[in-house]
Homo-oligomer: A and B are copies of this chain.
Amino acid sequence: MAAKQRGKRDNMNAFLEEAKAASRELMLLSGAEKNRLLREMAGAMRSATMDIIEANALDMKAAEENNLSSALKDRLLLDEKRIDAMATAVEEIAALKDPVGRVIDGWVTDDGLKIEKVSIPIGVIGIIYESRPNVTSDTAALCFKSNNVCVLKGGKEAEHSNAAIAKVLRATLKRNDLPEALISLLPDASREGVAKLIKMDKYVDLIVPRGGEGLIRYVSENATVPVVKHDKGQCHTYIDKDADMEKAVKIAVNAKVDRPGVCNAMETLLVDRAIAAEALPKLKEAFDAAHTELKGCGDTRAIIDVAEATEADFDTEYLANILNIRTVDGVDGAVAHIVRFGSGHSEAIITESYTTAEYFLNAVDAAAVYVNASTRFTDGGAFGFGAEVGISTNKLHARGPMGIEGLTTYKFKIYGNGQIR
């Protein structure tokens, strides 16, 4: 057992050492070459449609045997149309502006050194994800476009699909005399394999977990490699006394109802006490029409007839069409509630007051702070990033919607002509 364990560890070491070595080769690949290869990968995926569907059928059969829910099975399923969409996504990534080599800053020092701060790849990125097989080609393409090596660890339930997709991408690399190690699946996909991967800071530069809360918590608590994490979104909308009530109702309903199961959906609505008597009945009417289950604080329930919201409710990410409502004392009361319960994801104020809006924008510490708009806009697509790597709830490195620039870091290039100190 001990010998077997050691064998596994050594394999992992050798595998990641190869990935690290490959990352140096990738570092110098030009933008034109990267884009040509990405388009070739997209074409190869379309050509391999039947092979991918066959592999997917094995996963679907196992899903059937394991009684996976129909929602999970739908996430897992690949057909011709979905594979074409995956290929198109890779082509869209090829069309993005090159995130590497961007001169972020530049100046000449008193000593006459010309300094350029330039974006560069991070190196080796581990991506840990669940169910959807399209994440395999999406993240491989995003990493390749940013000159990063990716080590992919998908869900067990999608293993055949992921292997088939990775095989196509790797074959394209090989055909072009590039190391296959640039894109690979983690060989030991067990829980122990993941536990090892996230501690391999000698070879791996960043871990991006894309999955459920349990996975993310496990990874962030145990990794020694830096993690871009995506915690819960406990998002609030505050309706100020100076709000345009029509906008307020429309935005509040959208923030809750449009897609309750995602992280940028509102969980708690805060209403300024000064307008509660007028606003709450209108809000109740709109939310009733949207079949939202409402819970309220004591003051709210004195005005409208809703269930009681407990302290624990204010701390719950429902991810469902359920909403807490709390009456607060103006913008300061709203900020105090958000400080106490917010998760630093997305927070909104609805107001026509310039001063109150600016105060809220400055006083609330969250990745995205909105005036007069729905928190639902917090994502890479809506921000105009073209492609989204994830939404980070880290405070450092990348915060909020993370475009492909989130997969780069920087170095300083210093041009001298003989300077010494």
Contact = CB atoms under 8 A, between A and B. Distances in A.
A369 interface: yes
Interface in A325-372: 339, 361-363, 365-372
Chain A contact surface mostly: mixed
Interface in A300-348: 339
Interface string A395-421: 111011100000001111111111111
A280 interface: no
Interface in A248-268: 250-251, 254-255, 258
Interface string A379-390: 000111000000
A247 B420 CA distance: 9
A69 interface: no
A177 interface: no
Interface stretch (A106-114, A134-142, A187-195, A288-296): A106-114
Nearest to A363: B28
A418 B250 contact: yes
B409 A396 contact: yes
A27 interface: yes
Contacts of A111: 377, 382
A87 interface: no
Interface string A18-39: 0000001001100000000000
B374 A419 contact: yes
Nearest to A357: B415
A183 interface: no
Given A113-B377, A369-B414, A421-B254, A27 B362 contact: yes
Among A224, A339, A400, A412: residue with most chain B CB under 10 A: A412
A412 B396 contact: no
A400 B412 CA distance: 8
Interface stretch (A44-52, A70-78, A115-123, A155-163): A115-123
Complex A-B, nearest 10 residue pairs according to Cβ-Cβ distance, in ascending order: A373-B416, A254-B420, A373-B419, A247-B418, A396-B397, A376-B421, A372-B416, A370-B414, A374-B420, A368-B412
Interface of A: 24, 27-28, 107, 109-111, 113, 115, 120, 122-123, 205-206, 221, 224, 226, 244, 247, 250-251, 254-255, 258, 339, 361-363, 365-374, 376-377, 382-384, 394-397, 399-401, 409-421
